[in-house]
């Protein structure tokens, strides 16, 4: 527990730094970066879409690593980290899907299209939503943690196959729209990098805060459970 508290004490400073970085990122998005010619202001969605999509995937990778850690060391902390990362990852993927859909509407005139990346994100969203539902539904915490960890591992291993199959699927159903290609303006690229970095700080803060909550909840629970007055 001691080693966790030094880690979770970083949550506050990270959140502050993340907040400041987000403010800075707004300057880059609205003032520094040029307005895109064809899409206009709507293109600014991109500066939210890309960081959340990116960090969402990283969150799922954290779930994967923490799940392996849990299976090896059986420490509840690893499980708490995995579930915190899964929650944040699911939130980000939801945002990525929503912003992606808005983008698609403006850019390709449709709310949804079979784009390999978009489809992979949606399928990941389903898998990790299932992961969180599973955590609520299995009786017995030890069993739930084992099953969740196994799912956390196989879910991430599955990502390349999901992406690959989504791409092959698309090739027989040629999409009407080409995926957004071409190089970014250098100012835009700088802005994207700033946004990704800012979002990274926010992500770390969110995961750590949630992790600390779960940690405290667990300790409270075990205090309650070990109190002889409640055991009879």
Closest distance of CB 126 from other proteins, Å = 4
Alpha-helical (H) ranges within the chain are: 2-8, 11-27, 46-73, 76-108, 116-137, 141-157, 159-172, 186-226, 228-231
Distance CA 170, CA 119 (A): 10
Pair 108, 177: CB distance under 8 Å:
yes
Per DSSP, the three-state class of 40 is strand
Residue 167 three-state SS? helix
Among 31, 226, 229, 230, binds other proteins (CB under 8 A): 226
Residues 78-137 close enough to bind other proteins by CB under 8 A: 123, 126-127, 129-131, 133-134, 137
Shortest separation between residue 110's beta carbon and other proteins, angstroms: 20
- 158 near other proteins, judged by CB under 8 A: yes
- Between residues 76 and 100, which has the closer beta carbon with respect to other proteins? 76
Residue 219 touching other proteins (CB under 8 A): yes
Largest Cα–Cα distance of the chain, in whole Å? 72
CA distance 50 to 53: 5
State yes or no: residue 162 binds other proteins (CB under 8 A): yes
**Stretch near other proteins under the rule CB under 8 A, chosen from 95-103, 158-166, 187-195, 200-208:** 158-166
Binding site for other proteins (CB under 8 A): 71, 76, 123, 126-127, 129-131, 133-134, 137-143, 146-147, 149-151, 153-155, 157-158, 161-162, 164-166, 168-169, 171-172, 218-219, 222, 225-226, 231
């Amino acid at each position: 527990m001691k080693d966790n508290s030094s880690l979770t004490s970083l949550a506050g400073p990270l959140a502050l730094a993340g907040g400041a970085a987000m403010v800075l990122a707004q300057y880059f998005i609205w003032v520094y970066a040029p307005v895109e010619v064809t899409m206009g202001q709507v293109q600014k969605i991109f500066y939210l879409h890309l960081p959340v999509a990116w960090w969402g995937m990283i969150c799922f990778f954290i779930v994967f690593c923490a799940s392996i850690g849990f299976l090896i060391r059986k420490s509840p902390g690893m499980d708490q980290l995995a579930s915190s990362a899964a929650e944040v990852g699911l939130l980000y993927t939801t945002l990525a899907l929503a912003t992606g859909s808005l983008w698609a509407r403006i850019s390709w005139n449709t709310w949804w299209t079979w784009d390999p990346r978009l489809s992979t994100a949606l399928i990941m969203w389903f898998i990790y939503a299932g992961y969180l539902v599973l955590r609520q539904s299995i009786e017995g915490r030890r069993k739930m943690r084992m099953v969740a960890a196994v799912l956390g591992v196989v879910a991430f291993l599955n990502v390349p196959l999901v992406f690959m199959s989504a791409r092959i699927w698309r090739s027989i159903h040629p999409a009407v729209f080409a995926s957004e290609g071409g190089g970014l303006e250098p100012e835009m690229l700088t802005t994207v990098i700033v946004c990704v970095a800012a979002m990274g700080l926010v992500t770390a803060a969110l995961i750590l805060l949630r992790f600390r909550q779960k940690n405290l909840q667990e300790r409270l629970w075990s205090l309650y459970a070990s109190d002889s007055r409640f055991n009879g």
